[in-house]
């Protein structure tokens, strides 16, 4: 290991998450769509997911996760001078979800914005916030990944609706204090085939209309087979590049928190990186794919389970619509 752990780095002062109380297991879902518990488990590893009520919005989920992160960081709203929310299911096209939770939390009038990198969004946000904190212009950032994916699910399409759930995760980042250190980033994208995973209608290309509603264009559409192959390839490449650029090998990694999309993808990634599967933390069986909320929810759960030891190295890695990808190295 050649990485300099004494070098100044952004600190994750606190982590928090929130999921809706409503649990929808595979058996319950099979009563709404032509599927079965065995079909879903064998293909995805998912047993259940959390689904928000009609009255719960993405900003509600984000607000609760942010509160938990602030509490765990031992900080208050007025300590924050930057808010970034990663989401593909904002409450509305504008204003940003970041502005909505800034107001609800009572954070001062600081920089707030959303980013959209789909399932890679939280790691993109960490990368962006690290750069902004390193500039010296900001001191303490609130980063949130939040999704109400049930709002864009086609509940008649068993190939997609069984995969996703709702939730939010948040982190408080600072230049000083105690907590895991962010020590390396690798983010990228390939926009050459955007229709592999997309929501066709609702934007400027195809505004809402009677035709778009009849065509069910406002729902998420995915080419599962191609996404699977791309996901393993791009996450493997990003992880390997990041590890090598920091003078490490795969054997130096103690824990991996991958995007929680599919158990088969995680198994394939483990094989590609030659990192034992037991080093991977997965909770997708309980929550399904929560997109930008996936990694922070898993990280919060793993932290509360005390699985990390001081000085160990962790790898976060994700892929998402775009196709986007991102990897982050963390020293616990």
Task: Indicate which residue of 26, 68, 72, 289 is catalytic.
Answer: 289
CB-CB neighbours of 43 under 10 Å: 16
293-319: per-residue pLDDT in tens?
A: 999 999 999 999 999 999 999 999 999
| Alpha carbons 123 and 233: distance in angstroms, whole number | 18
27-47: per-residue pLDDT in tens?
A: 999 999 999 999 999 999 999
Class of domain 183-331: alpha beta
- Asked about 259 being catalytic, the answer comes back as yes
Token pair 């058996």 is at which residue? Answer: 27
183-193: per-residue pLDDT in tens?
A: 999 999 999 99
- Asked about 289 being catalytic, the answer comes back as yes
Mean of pLDDT values over 104-126? 98
Q: Residue 2: what pLDDT?
A: 59
- Asked about 255 being catalytic, the answer comes back as no
Task: Indicate which residue of 26, 68, 119, 331 is catalytic.
Answer: 119
Mean of pLDDT values over 282-286? 98
- What does CATH list as the number for 10-179? 3.40.47.10
Three-state secondary structure readout of the chain: CCCCCCCCCEEEEEEEEECCCCEEEHHHHHCCCCCCHHHHHHHHCCCEEECCCCCCCHHHHHHHHHHHHHHHHCCCHHHCCEEEEECCCCCCCCCCHHHHHHHHHCCCCCEEEEECCHHHHHHHHHHHHHHHHHCCCCCEEEEEEEEEHHHHCCCCCHHHHCCECEEEEEEEEECCCCCCEEEEEEEEECCCCHHHEECCCCCCCCCCCHHHHHCCCCCCEECHHHHHHHHHHHHHHHHHHHHHHCCCCHHHCCEEEECCCCHHHHHHHHHHHCCCHHHECCCHHHHCECHHHHHHHHHHHHHHCCCCCCCCEEEEEEEECCCEEEEEEEEC
Task: Indicate which residue of 112, 259, 262, 331 is catalytic.
Answer: 259
Q: Given pLDDT bands bounded at 50, 70 and 90, which one contains residue 1? A: low
Threshold 0.75, pTM exceeds: yes
**Domain spans, the chain:** 10-179, 183-331
Q: Do domains 10-179 and 183-331 have the same CATH topology?
A: yes
């Amino acid at each position: 290991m050649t990485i300099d752990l004494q070098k100044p780095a952004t600190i994750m002062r606190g982590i928090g998450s929130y999921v809706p109380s409503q649990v929808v297991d595979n058996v319950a879902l099979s009563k709404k769509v032509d599927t079965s518990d065995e079909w879903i488990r064998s293909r995805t590893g998912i047993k259940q997911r959390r689904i928000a009520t009609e009255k719960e919005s993405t900003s509600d989920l984000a607000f609760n996760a942010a509160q938990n992160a602030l509490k765990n960081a031992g900080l208050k709203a007025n300590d924050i001078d930057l808010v970034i929310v990663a989401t593909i299911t904002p409450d509305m096209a504008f204003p940003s979800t970041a502005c909505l939770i800034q107001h609800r939390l009572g954070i001062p009038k600081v920089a707030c914005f959303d980013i959209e990198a789909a399932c890679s969004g939280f790691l993109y946000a960490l990368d962006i916030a690290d750069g902004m904190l390193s500039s010296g212009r900001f001191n303490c950032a609130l980063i949130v990944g939040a999704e109400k994916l049930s709002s864009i699910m086609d509940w008649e399409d068993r190939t997609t609706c069984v995969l996703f759930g709702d939730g939010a995760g948040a982190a408080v980042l600072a230049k000083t204090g105690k907590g895991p250190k962010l020590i390396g980033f690798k983010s990228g994208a390939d926009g050459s085939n955007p229709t592999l995973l997309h929501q066709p209608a609702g934007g400027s290309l195809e505004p809402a209309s009677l035709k778009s509603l009849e065509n069910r264009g406002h729902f998420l559409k995915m080419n599962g087979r191609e996404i699977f192959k791309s996901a393993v390839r791009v996450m493997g490449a990003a992880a390997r590049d990041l590890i090598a650029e920091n003078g490490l090998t795969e054997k130096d990694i103690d824990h991996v928190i991958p995007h929680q999309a599919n158990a088969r993808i995680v198994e394939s990634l483990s094989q590609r990186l030659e990192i034992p599967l037991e080093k991977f933390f997965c909770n997708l069986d309980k929550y399904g794919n929560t997109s930008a909320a996936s990694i922070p929810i898993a990280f919060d759960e793993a932290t509360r389970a005390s699985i990390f030891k001081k000085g160990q190295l962790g790898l976060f890695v994700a892929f998402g619509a775009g196709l986007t990808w991102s990897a982050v190295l963390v020293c616990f």
